[in-house]
Amino acid sequence: MKSIAIMLSVGLFALSGCALGKKMLEQPSGLPQKQSAKLERRTEVFTGKVVLVDGAYRLSPLKDPDTLLRLTRARRETEFAQQQINLRKYYEKTISVNGTLQDDWIFGADIVGQWTPPGGATGPNMNAPKQTRQ
């Protein structure tokens, strides 16, 4: 009788220890990343040409060709770089983008159109040089 009680208590102790261990393993490690608030979206239409500058693809607006912009789908400033849109397939093409301008980013970006010059190659430009930096 004592052996059954001892086995039951050891079994319960082991189960509670496993549950505690599992709970500890499920918790995220490290410092929690602070999330910024969603930015207010004032959608505009940007038209420009995709260029390769210093190893990174950027949008050069037709209205101000000296400005270079990056595109992201993110709506939070902390996620801009993570959700950046790779513009390689639009290299040397003119594209139209809906989004909101903030600093050198267009956030909440949607590419809604692309144009090629008459007689230019159509489809994605996968022969474009590889990007060497973000």
C-alpha–C-alpha distance, residues 19 and 25, integer Å = 10
In this prediction, residue 17 carries a pLDDT of 62
C-alpha–C-alpha distance, residues 69 and 51, integer Å = 10
Domains of the chain: 44-115 (2.40.50)
- Reported pTM: 0.65
Closest CA to 101 of 55, 53, 56, 63: 63
Mean pLDDT over the full length of the chain: 82
Q: What is the pLDDT of residues 9-63, one digit of tens each?
A: 776 666 666 555 556 556 655 556 666 777 777 899 999 999 999 999 999 999 9
In the block, residue with structure tokens 């060497």: 132
Closest CA to 72 of 35, 37, 97: 97
Split at pLDDT 50, 70, 90, the class of 6 is confident
